[in-house]
A and B are shown apart, each in its own frame.
Chain A
Amino acid sequence: MVPAATVPRLLGAGVWPRPLRPHLLQSATPGRARPGGRTLASAATPAVSEPEDSIDVSDKILSQPLKHSDFFNVKELFSVRSLFDARVHLGHKAGCRHRFMEPYIFGSRLGQDIIDLEQTAAHLQLALNFMAHVAYRKGIILFVGRNRQFSHLIETTARNCGEYAHTRYFKGGLLTNAPLLLGPMVRLPDLIIFLHTLNNVFEPHVAVRDAAKMHIPTVGVVDTNCNPCLITYPIPGNDDSPPSIHLFCRLFQTTINRAKQKRRQMEALYRLQGPEGLGARGQGLAASPSLGA
């Protein structure tokens, strides 16, 4: 059954301050925490003795993944064929088409728009990579989706990743008026992932605009009737078919878990090595990005 500690994280009207470590929220810097500062606070290892070494290690942990083009090897998780089999290429009818989705549409078959899967693959790779890096740096990820058919799936996906979900009615000032609605020292999400960009009345979800207001990057599955302008990393694809949403949820879950596991590996690696051998050995061992299958 669900452990009691994780229940308030998912249910309710978007209650997502982490209840497990409330003391950290007051002690850490308000709002966004520094990457170095957060690593120091959350690692909590007694092996971190001198501040210079630990800062050096944390910088290495954070800067190294950015040097590889595909550090988490997200390319292997999907292919154009697998996207096609999951019916990601099916769009809405031509009358529902949004003007800004036209570049991503391959053509129209008997009135139904077909999304260009080559572009989708490129966008998906960028989005998964970004998501993985955010999870690697211990960012808070919020899954948003207002389609009631997949509400439970999105919540279970978030639970399996160890992240947050909000698939209910989105209250007005949840992001823009967070100190009032959620409490004084609340850390806002570092990434919002939209499984459905529209709400139940086929209007753009409020969180898209609010995330842009609050400088929060977004990843979103945009269908042919959605507006992809404000979404940082849009993924043109079908958001109505069950196979398609199941595929996206599976991909997101795998990516985030992979990134977190990689982070644990890197931290363990540098902790084991200690102050010596940070240079060559670290580079050699960390150069293999793919995890054991």
Chain B
Amino acid sequence: MARSRLETVGSVFSRTRDLIRAGVLNEKPLWFDIYNAFPPLREPVFRRPRLRYGKAKAAIQDILYPEDRIRAFVEKYIELQKLGETDEEKLFVETGKALLAAGVILRRVEARTQKEGGHVSWESEPTGVKPQTVLEKNQPLQEVPQDQHLETSEEQPKGLSPP
């Protein structure tokens, strides 16, 4: 039974096919016709795994949802609150600044809170940013920031109450 034990040269199929064509292999193996009829999506050729050098990075993106933005804000807010800060306005600003320092994710949110100022805009801001379908999923999440500033806010969050 003729075989070429060169697994690094071509695929199993290409080697077998060439051996048959050369007349070295007399009988077709069982799987040959099946592979011919249904080849795989990628030919199983050997590739040497090379390391990535320098700044080359894999092209795999992070999976992030809109609620991750809210989660980040809430976590930072609670963290800053634990440090002893009580004034809400200040807490918002500090949270925004801290998140901006961490990454550019909340830049839009932070810019709008600073631009319009006060918690009046903050209540309406998430509804403006998020689409309706995402909002319905976010109801339980948005309850948390609501509970936080219910006692101090003069405006009730009409925009966020369930329709």
A-to-B contact residues, CB < 8 Å: 29-35, 62-63, 66, 94, 97-100, 102, 105-110, 113-114, 122-123, 126, 129-130, 133-134, 137, 139, 176, 190-191, 209, 211-218, 227, 229-234
Contacts and interface: CB of A to CB of B under 8 A. Distances in A.
Contact of A129 (B31, B38, B52): B38
B5 interface: yes
Contacts, number: 112
Interface string B33-47: 111011011001111
A107 B34 contact: no
B37 A229 contact: no
Given A32-B29, A109-B63, A215 B41 contact: no
Nearest to A136: B34
Contacts of A100: 47, 49
Interface in B1-56: 1, 3, 5-7, 11-13, 15-16, 27-31, 33-35, 37-38, 40-41, 44-47, 49-50, 52
B12 A134 contact: no
A133 B34 contact: yes
A237 to B, nearest CB: 15
B151 interface: no
Task: Determine chain A's interface SS by DSSP, over half rule.
Answer: mixed
A66 B30 contact: no
Contact of B27 (A29, A66, A211): A29
Interface of B: 1, 3, 5-7, 11-13, 15-16, 27-31, 33-35, 37-38, 40-41, 44-47, 49-50, 52, 58-63
A240 B59 CA distance: 25
A108 B30 contact: no
Nearest 5 Cβ contacts at the A-B interface: A31-B1, A212-B7, A107-B63, A213-B5, A109-B63
Task: Determine chain B's interface SS by DSSP, over half rule.
Answer: loop
Contact of B31 (A33, A123, A134, A176): A134
A190 B34 CA distance: 12
B71 to A, nearest CB: 11
A214 B3 contact: yes
B30 A113 contact: no
16 contacts: A32-B30, A33-B27, A99-B49, A106-B63, A110-B62, A126-B38, A133-B34, A176-B5, A191-B31, A209-B7, A213-B6, A214-B5, A215-B15, A215-B29, A229-B45, A232-B13
A107 B63 CA distance: 6
A229 B31 contact: no
B98 to A, nearest CB: 20
A108 B38 CA distance: 32
A139 B60 contact: no
A134 B30 contact: yes
B63 A34 contact: no
Contacts of A209: 7
A215 B34 contact: no
A110 B37 CA distance: 41
A107 B7 contact: no
A183 to B, nearest CB: 15
B2 to A, nearest CB: 9
A259 B13 CA distance: 23
Contacts of A66: 33-34, 37
Nearest to B45: A229
A102 B60 contact: yes
Contacts of A211: 12
Contact of A108 (B7, B15, B52, B61): B61
A35 B29 CA distance: 8
Contacts of A218: 44
A137 B3 CA distance: 22
Given A133-B38, A190-B30, A231 B44 contact: yes
